[in-house]
Homo-oligomer: A and B are copies of this chain.
Amino acid sequence: MNAVTRPEEPAQGGAGRIPQKAERGSLDARLLRRLLASVGNPPIEFVLAWTGERVSAPSIAPRASVRIADRSTLLGIVSDPQLRFGDAYTDGRVELDGDLIEFLKMIYRASAGAGGESIAHRMAGLLHRRRRNTLAGSRDNIHRHYDLGNDFYSLWLGPTMAYTCAYYPRSDATLEAAQIAKMDHVCRKLRLTANDSVVEAGCGWGSLALHMARHYGARVRAFNISREQIAYARGKARELGLEKRVEFIEDDYRNITGSHDVFVSVGMLEHVGRENYHELGRVVRAALGAEGRGLIHSIGRNRPAPLHPWIERRIFPGAYAPSLGEMMQIFEPFRLSVLDVENIRLHYARTLRHWLERYERAVDAVRSKFDESLVRMWRMYLAGSAAAFETGTLQLFQVLFTTDENNQIPLTRGYMYPT
């Protein structure tokens, strides 16, 4: 979806255009056609429930249909499509006929083709202030998302409880195999050994920290500010008899102390906020010894742009996905040297499709805990994220780095791909 199109302004690309016959109709229809034009005329059709009218872009055969329940919903969507479409879907005032992911991909693709996405995002960025990631702000932002309950997440994340992009060594790998392969891919990139001390920033439910200790013998200090996640991770460490090798610390990454062989952070950078990249870089450099290695895994963008406003407001308060250029603000001021960057966005599309499948299978259990609006909101979030990765709207970067004086670097990357 795209920016506000004010009724008195001609729609993008429409200045001086002669209205065609098909474009006539009600005021509602004209407003929707302007909206469609502003997002590049995707092949979708709106059905207005209160009149039965069907509206699509001129000369485009619709491939999906959206039913809008009432006029006030329509006006909301037209005035702020990026935020209000998702909200209307959540509230059940918008219904789709067809596959949700494919529908959202059509919008992303048309929108990117119209060059609208970045303008819309920039406007959205101006229109509202992102929630700040101060120490207290971060705690609140993280609590809102991650403390929905471990039971809720376990319904669709599967037994690893890994809530980040998996890595599929083969296209037919299961979600669980791919999550374990992701952990091994990260450990191999870091050349992890039993002699290594690791600090992890943002450890989720602890799966990577425990994997590093269990399968590589490393000692790990893992930081997280989500109380529920830390409690779960400590329980798992006890269950596996790994309490002596893995310490789960309920604290902010900014409070990391000590010198380590390895710094790792998988899926935390999205919550750090651009304004804190310099501070993160300082923390990373201070946490590493002279031959220290590190890896940051994060959702990213091909160019700087705010996160989709609906996602940032309703799902991930305070979140931001950086471009690779923006990520360099972490490394460049602090004598860190980037060794390797891998973009695995299609793996996240696959991961999200797997999560959504499990979510739908478990939807009755979700319904028994939460009301229907959460059920629908979460579906929109998972489907929208899959669509964003499949269309290249979002990227997933793994950045491997070391201190800039370290010459203990393998000649080739063959070590990442054991036969």
Contact = CB atoms under 8 A, between A and B. Distances in A.
A329 interface: yes
A157 interface: no
Contacts of A325: 325, 328-329, 332
Q: Name, among A168, A171, A407, the residue most crowded by chain B CB atoms within 10 Å (CB to CB).
A: A407
B332 A343 contact: no
Q: Name, among A167, A169, A343, the residue most crowded by chain B CB atoms within 10 Å (CB to CB).
A: A343
Nearest to A346: B409
A417 B407 contact: no
A180 interface: no
Interface string A368-410: 0000000000000000000000111001000000001111010
Interface string A105-135: 0000100100000000000000000000000
Nearest to A390: B407
B342 A413 contact: yes
Contact of A391 (B302, B304, B405, B417): B405
A340 interface: yes
A195 B268 CA distance: 42
A347 interface: yes
Interface in A273-309: 302-304
B343 A339 contact: yes
Contact of A337 (B302, B390, B405, B417): B302
Contacts of A339: 342-343
A338 B398 CA distance: 12
A341 interface: yes
A339 to B, nearest CB: 5
Interface residues of A, number: 45
Nearest to A168: B411
A393 to B, nearest CB: 9
A405 B417 contact: no
A39 to B, nearest CB: 16
Contacts of A391: 405
Contacts of A329: 325
B323 A328 contact: yes
Nearest to A304: B332
A384 to B, nearest CB: 18
Contacts of A171: 411
Interface string A195-206: 000000000000
Contacts of A13: none
A324 B346 contact: no
B411 A417 contact: no
Q: Name, among A170, A328, A419, the residue most crowded by chain B CB atoms within 10 Å (CB to CB).
A: A328
A112 B411 CA distance: 24
A331 interface: yes
Nearest to A349: B407
A202 B232 CA distance: 56
B338 A343 contact: yes
Contacts of A222: none
Contacts of A302: 331-332, 335-338, 404
A304 B325 CA distance: 12
A337 B332 contact: no
A334 B171 CA distance: 30
B407 A347 contact: no
A414 interface: yes
15 contacts: A112-B404, A169-B411, A302-B331, A302-B335, A303-B335, A324-B328, A324-B341, A340-B341, A341-B341, A346-B407, A346-B409, A392-B405, A392-B406, A413-B413, A414-B417
Give 7 closest A-B pairs by Cβ, nearest first. A325-B328, A341-B341, A303-B332, A392-B404, A302-B337, A339-B343, A325-B325
Interface of A: 109, 112, 167-171, 302-304, 323-325, 328-329, 331-333, 335-343, 346-347, 390-392, 395, 404-407, 409, 411-414, 416-417, 419
